[in-house]
Amino acid sequence: MNNWFAYDDGRSIGEVSAEGGVILRDEEHKRGGRMTLKQGKTFISVSCHIYKWMDHTRFFGSVNEAQREYVIMKNILGSMMDDILATGANDLKMWEAIADFVRRFP
């Protein structure tokens, strides 16, 4: 099941983020997460959030690389929320999953 949808009905695409990057992709997960791909003058980044749990940003050398990694990270992030938050698992399981995510996607 796809629990991702366009953040703010897609209105954020093309807007300038707080960091000064243009938002290229922006999606939210129904269980409380968000992923945003931004391109600035000196950076290309993907920010991954699980609300009240994690805020992790990665930087890339090209938009193509960022797009590819965005899809991979989105699947893992979605699974974390669907498999852990949805089941009401304990905090330790979520922190372990976050640690694994950050190690896998430094």
pLDDT band for 38, please (50, 70, 90 cuts).
Answer: very high
Residue 29 makes CB contacts below 8 A (sequence gap 6+) with: 3, 4, 77, 78, 81
Separation of alpha carbons 31 and 50, rounded Å = 9
8-19 confidence digits (pLDDT tens): 999 999 999 998
Domain coverage including residue 71? 4-104
What's the Rg (C-alpha) of the chain?
A: 14
DSSP per position, 7-58: GGGGTTTTPBPTTSPEEEEEEEETTTEEEEEEE-SS-EEEEEEETTTEEEEE
pLDDT band for 1, please (50, 70, 90 cuts).
Answer: low
* In contact, 31 and 88? CB cutoff 8 Å: no
- Which range has the worst mean pLDDT, 38-42, 71-75, 88-92? 88-92
* Start-to-end Cα distance in the chain: 27
Predicted confidence at residue 90, as pLDDT, reads: 77
Separation of alpha carbons 43 and 48, rounded Å = 16
Domain tally, the chain: 1
